[in-house]
Amino acid sequence: MGFGCNACGVIGCRIIESPRERLIAILTNNFVPCNGRFPTLIAIITMFFVASFSFGSGAAACLLLTLVILLGISMTLLMSRILSKTILKGMPSSFILELPPYRRPKIGSVIVRSILDRTVFVLGRAIIVAAPCGLLIWGLANIDCHGASLLSYCTDFCDPLGRLLGIDGVILMAFVLGFPANEIVIPIILMTYMAQGSLTDYDSLQQLQGILLENGWTWQTALSTMILCLFHFPCGTTCLTIKKETGSWKWTGAAFLLPTLVGALLCLLLNLVCTLFFSL
């Protein structure tokens, strides 16, 4: 379920009876890309890795996206294994899903309960996070100090760490401000590069590619951004859901840090390898 929404994936872990294994599933759910991360991944793959293909670009993009998804699944299994052998040790249990007795479905009841228990439940938490974060993004982009926006000061502050990870301060800040929803990472990047005061979308991939190339993007920048897109902290809605399901800020923090540290480590290693290779 995490491929659709990580918050719904966390809720889906309720069917696991073992508290230890349910917690492992919750902590590793964010390693698979949710629906909000697919547009960013597809756009970067199309612009930087298959754009030069004269034919078969669609098949190549599908293959690369599949490899990215498999990487996320593999990391989910690997981290689950590590957690079960370290801080969440215990005997594995069998998973039994008992089928309830068949009853004639009541369409009205199903629709009402699904709307109340799923849609409104998740959207309510999204609004709680999105409203203050949206105000913060607007303020950073529109409040000037000594001739520059607060957002530009933030990106300059993040730039040294971003360079260490193979990206820049704008990309790093976009992921930080993208905490309410993964879908707004690219619009925040465009808003910052173009020095505009509101979130900016792109009309075509060619236009987006041109803006990114003008601001120093390379294949390494694109690859590092894809890694961070795949492995970074859960969105705000998912974090609230984890807190609700676990009842603990400690495990919510663990779910926040685990994929973030993995993504940062992979980007750091990629940047070191590329620096050593090109310096030879």
Per-residue model confidence as pLDDT tens for the chain (280 residues): 889 889 889 988 988 888 999 999 999 999 999 988 999 999 999 999 887 776 777 888 899 999 999 999 999 999 999 999 988 887 777 767 777 788 787 777 777 777 766 677 667 766 777 778 778 888 888 888 888 888 899 999 999 999 999 999 999 999 999 888 888 898 889 888 887 777 767 778 888 889 899 999 999 999 999 999 999 999 988 998 999 999 999 999 999 999 999 999 999 999 999 888 876 5
**Domain annotation covers residue 109:** no
**Domain annotation covers residue 198:** yes
Pair 179, 133: CB distance under 8 Å: yes
**Domain annotation covers residue 103:** no
User: For residue 141, which of 213, 193, 182, 179 has the smallest C-alpha distance?
Assistant: 193
**Domain annotation covers residue 55:** yes
**Domain annotation covers residue 96:** no
**Domain annotation covers residue 153:** yes
Tell me how many domains the chain contains. Answer: 1
**Domain annotation covers residue 101:** no
What is the rounded CA–CA span in Å between residue 111 and residue 165? 46
Single pTM value for the model: 0.85
Chain-centroid distance of CA 57 in Å reads 25
**Domain annotation covers residue 112:** no
Domain containing residue 160: 6-91+125-279
Pair 133, 236: CB distance under 8 Å: yes
How many CB atoms sit inside 10 A of residue 235's CB?
27
